[in-house]
Structure 1
Amino acid sequence: MKRGLLLAIILIIVFCSGCVSNIGEINKLSGDINQHIKKGDEYYNGAAEDVNNYRLDSAREKCESASSEYNAARLLTSEAMAYAEDSGDEVLIEYLKLVLAEIDAKLNATSELKNAIQLLSMDEVTSANNSLDLANKFMYEAKDYERQRDELVNKNPQKFNI
């Protein structure tokens, strides 16, 4: 009887330490994820400003940098998602799904901005404006995902150390 109880306690400890370890890994990744998103946003906004001022080469370079930052954030978020799924924490899983959706929307916006730059360089202004409209649409979607993330955090402050 004591042996069975001891085995059960050991299994519970191992299981709980695995959950804590997964959460710790997610916490480590979250700072890097946020930094990559922030840098991507800075590059994207700089590219948009350059497009408005018709500095297309600079805008193109900033779009490439934004894509690189968003892709890095996406890779790290996918890694964090694996840890969240292993932990079985539904709130963290939902949060990371929203982060991935936000990043995907920002990647789509960046792709449309790159497309607009290419079209502007060929004097295809009408088509470029359509791509710019799509880029704006994707960024509004990204902002909506960010808003949903913030709501989830506010509903679950104990999960997010706020």
Structure 2
Amino acid sequence: MTSPEISESRLSHLDAAGQANMVDVSHKAVTTREAIAEGSLKMAASTLEQIEQGNSPKGDVLGTARIAGIMAAKQTSALIPLCHPLPLSKVKVSIEPDRALPGYRIQATVKTKAETGVEMEALTAVSVAALTLYDMAKALEKSMEIQSIRLLQKTGGKSGDYQASP
């Protein structure tokens, strides 16, 4: 049950009876939309060094994580309830070492031409890339931390553009 104060207009994924539903976006214009998300995986400096030298027992840590992030973006609607399946025209996942962290910075850029945005696809790509990095490197270190997954920016759509604070 939903309280009388909560209206359908405030919570777009609830109907008038408070039941979850997938939002009808058929009335929205098809526009180009892009989202960029980021996150990081913090680890010991020695773990970062071993991965950079190719000394992970599981093989290509970064390549596997990059592919996992791309695949995850394409499967977002199967993972996140009420998320629309979208025709993605671009998914780019970059994973860069950061010795100051120490660890890796992950960034995903996702683009589509559709009635709804791709923020969830970008966030899913970063999340799964980080999880895969962890999985590929856990034999080296189990205390790694996935951190600070967030939306950096989005363009297109009715709500306009968004840019996160630094």
TM score, norm. by length of structure 2: 0.32
Comparing both structures, which one devotes a greater share of its residues to helix? 1
Comparing both structures, which one devotes a greater share of its residues to strand? 2
